[in-house]
Structure 1
């Protein structure tokens, strides 16, 4: 497994980030633990979760499961870069959500308790909160850093302008600011190339790509729609990309690689990408995708992928002159 710096920090994280959204509600405790053990053995040191994950088991269930796994072997904590998120509703309480300083503090304490750890390596804002002043958020994060409860701050699903605004505010007060952005990015969905990726590159913000297989569309004929997207949703989405997906499958066959492996390898060839999040439901799915970091795509293959799934182009030229 190869590793890359997390944005402009000195921290090294694996090119594959193990996403845990399915752990608990769709993946049993036993299989989740097996996948986590496999990840460590394969050199994957980057594990991502969120306080809201838990599905039918209720919010916080996935963090509790991770806490149980960490408690089985105290040495595991030092071997992983642990990331979680804050923002999504945790109850019906109007203040038990968002990015107010009050909620950030309380949510962090709750995540630490569920995970059974004394600090979180990467604390990410799960979504932009338009009601929360940047100064309030930065002050809350500074307090958590001073308390030793978090080490780095990241964002997720932020637009380019918000990434720039947060880091300009941080720079003005000599703070580190955002070190990474977790963004929707894959061969099918490339809008991040317009503003988000350029903003991240300008500020030294690492990009962690989520949904690298476009909800299963890029996983090939073995797509398992029982996870994040229903069978009907995958089928409907595939219908809108039938010709492209057929060309993509042909290329993957010529390369002798599974479509999911090629899709993730393509991501890891893109400028500014730190890691790709894979969210397996089964052990075999995870094992198959671990081959992606070792797949080198030559200029010809990359050009064909761009022709099959053309990007948006550069901003503002993509929509102006």
Structure 2
């Protein structure tokens, strides 16, 4: 396993992060426990979840599954860098969502109870809250840090200027602020290269890309359809229709390299200097094994240039749209 620091922090995490969103709704608890054990056996120490994961009928389900896994002992909690999130609506009552000081306090305590742990290593804001001032958010985080309930704070789905606002408010207190940003980032969706990644790099935030295979479209979807293994529907079908030529070119190039398309897509992210760890969300042990293969894929400058030709990304702002 390869390891790196999370942003500018001293925290050491694996170069892949285990995403757990499928645990509960799509992956049975016993299978989820087996996947987490398998991740530890491979040296993967960084797990990501959220308080709202589990589906609308059972929010918190995923954290509960992880908590019962921790309760089995054997150093499971001690060997895990645990990341969860706050923001999502947990009930119909007011103040049970977003980033008010009240909700941060209540949501954190509820996550700790479900996860059966006394602290969260990385507590992430799942979305920007445009109605709550940063001084209020950082005050709530300060209290939680002083109580030993969280160690680091991170963000998710922030724009570049949101990162700047958060960090400048933190600097005024002064506190550490954010150490990571979790964003949608893959070969097909590279919008964050315009402003989010430059902001993250400026402030020393590690980037945690989610949906690294863009909902499976970068995982060999055309070959799977031809083999009758998979049928693409809904938004994925629309995206496939719009980008079929690029996806075909990508799958052909992966075959030239001698790798599976999904391995190449993950490896591309691992070669991006701003990226700390792509988040892989396996439903099965086999999917976890496939994700781990990407760590063995080395892409030279020529291969990276070819991928840029197939899926060209934007330039940084303002040069992307102005001189």
TM range (shorter): over 0.9
Identify the residue that residue 8 of structure 1 maps to in structure 2.
Answer: 8
Any idea what the Cα deviations from partners look like across 1:262-321, whole Å, max 9, x if unmatched? 001000111211000001111111111101122110001000000000001121011111
Please report how far the alpha carbon of residue 150 of structure 1 lies from its aligned counterpart in structure 2 after TM superposition. 0.3
Identify the residue that residue 288 of structure 2 maps to in structure 1.
Answer: 286
Any idea what the Cα deviations from partners look like across 1:108-148, whole Å, max 9, x if unmatched? 00000000000000000000000000000000001000000
Please report how far the alpha carbon of residue 233 of structure 1 lies from its aligned counterpart in structure 2 after TM superposition. 2.7
Q: TM-score under structure 1 normalisation?
A: 0.96
Q: How does 1:232-311 map to 2 (within 5 A)?
A: 232-311=234-313
Rounded Cα–Cα distance in structure 1 between residues aligned with 2:56 and 2:87: 19
Q: How does 1:142-291 map to 2 (within 5 A)?
A: 142-221=142-221, 231-291=233-293
Corresponding residue pairs, total: 317
Q: TM-score under structure 2 normalisation?
A: 0.96
Rounded Cα–Cα distance in structure 2 between residues aligned with 1:223 and 1:173: 53
Distance of aligned partners of 1:94 and 1:302 in 2 relative to their CA distance in 1, 3 Å threshold: same
Rounded Cα–Cα distance in structure 2 between residues aligned with 1:244 and 1:95: 45
Contact (CA 8 Å) 1:217, 1:223: kept in 2 or not?
Answer: no
Rounded Cα–Cα distance in structure 1 between residues aligned with 2:217 and 2:46: 24
| Unaligned stretches of 5+ residues in structure 1 | none
Rounded Cα–Cα distance in structure 1 between residues aligned with 2:317 and 2:246: 24
What is the SS of the residue equivalent to 2:8?
A: coil
State yes or no: 1:135 paired with 2:135: yes
Please report how far the alpha carbon of residue 236 of structure 1 lies from its aligned counterpart in structure 2 after TM superposition. 1.9
What is the SS of the residue equivalent to 1:307?
A: helix
What is the SS of the residue equivalent to 2:277?
A: strand
Contact (CA 8 Å) 1:219, 1:259: kept in 2 or not?
Answer: yes
Rounded Cα–Cα distance in structure 2 between residues aligned with 1:130 and 1:140: 16
Rounded Cα–Cα distance in structure 2 between residues aligned with 1:19 and 1:128: 20
What is the SS of the residue equivalent to 1:4?
A: strand
Identify the residue that residue 29 of structure 2 maps to in structure 1.
Answer: 29
Contact (CA 8 Å) 1:4, 1:14: kept in 2 or not?
Answer: yes
Any idea what the Cα deviations from partners look like across 1:222-241, whole Å, max 9, x if unmatched? 769xxxx9733322211110
Over the aligned positions, Cα root-mean-square deviation in angstroms equals: 1.4
Rounded Cα–Cα distance in structure 2 between residues aligned with 1:19 and 1:302: 26
Distance of aligned partners of 1:223 and 1:277 in 2 relative to their CA distance in 1, 3 Å threshold: farther
Please report how far the alpha carbon of residue 75 of structure 1 lies from its aligned counterpart in structure 2 after TM superposition. 1.1
Distance of aligned partners of 1:55 and 1:205 in 2 relative to their CA distance in 1, 3 Å threshold: same
Any idea what the Cα deviations from partners look like across 1:34-81, whole Å, max 9, x if unmatched? 110110000100000000000165100000000011111251111010
Q: How does 1:109-124 map to 2 (within 5 A)?
A: 109-124=109-124
Identify the residue that residue 38 of structure 1 maps to in structure 2.
Answer: 38
| Unaligned stretches of 5+ residues in structure 2 | 226-230
Which of residues 307, 314, 317 in structure 2 aligns to 1:315? 317
